Homo-oligomer: A and B are copies of this chain.
């Protein structure tokens, strides 16, 4: 019998315990994970990073990302994978951070993903993503290996419209404000 699904309400804490996410990503890419098991010595199994990856990889239509810092190779691969799968990906980021070594932003742009950034004195300090306009992923966590592996961080996964809607509106507001037609060149 059909029942309305309860909204997802999940809290993830970091640091994430060390764990191999190769199989998860290979499976999502459809490149036959089972055939080529990862030789790395990390334990398999669930961790905050793998849970975050699974939530992201559930995207079917759209993914909005609004991140101060983005350097995690695993999360970068997940986003590129969604883009190749036909998900409409849009990324907003902070101008100061995006040029640093290790940033994923250049790779995302190279893959054809739309990226916009601020031109402000303040930081674009948000750390959220919205999956299929329905699921909000937000918290203190920048998508960096340092944050994932060594910091105390939190991430909320939220489907309640009272939270998702304002973040969608905030994303669209920032997306329009950071439209390159408004960029100033000094």
A interface residues, Cβ below 8 angstroms from B: 9, 11, 13, 15, 68, 118, 120-128, 138-141, 146-147, 149-154, 156, 160, 162-163, 166-167, 170, 174
The answer to whether residues A122 and B150 also contact, given A160-B9, A163-B9, A166-B13 and a CB cut-off of 8 A, is yes
CB-based contact A152/B122 at 8 Å: yes
B151 touches A123 (CB 8 A): yes
Chain B residues, CB < 8 A from A154: 126, 128, 138, 167, 170
Closest to A92 in B: B152
> Which residues of chain B are near A146, meaning CB under 8 Å?
122
Residues of B within 8 A of A151 (CB): 122-125
Chain multiplicity (copies)? 2
Task: Provide the bound-state CA to CA distance between A9 and B7, in Å.
Answer: 15
CB distance from A12 to the nearest CB of B (A): 9
- The secondary-structure label for the interface of chain A is mixed
- Chain B residue nearest in CB terms to A161: B9
CB neighbours (8 Å) of A150 from chain B are: 120-123
| Inter-chain contact A126/B138, CB cutoff 8 Å | no
A11-B163, A13-B170, A162-B9 given as contacts; is B153 within 8 A of A156 (CB)?
no
A140 to B151, CA, bound (A): 14
Minimum distance in angstroms from A141 CB to a CB of chain B: 8
> In the complex, given contacts A120-B150, A124-B152, what are 9 additional A-B residue pairs having Cβ atoms less than 8 angstroms apart?
A13-B170, A15-B122, A123-B147, A123-B152, A125-B151, A126-B140, A138-B156, A156-B156, A156-B163
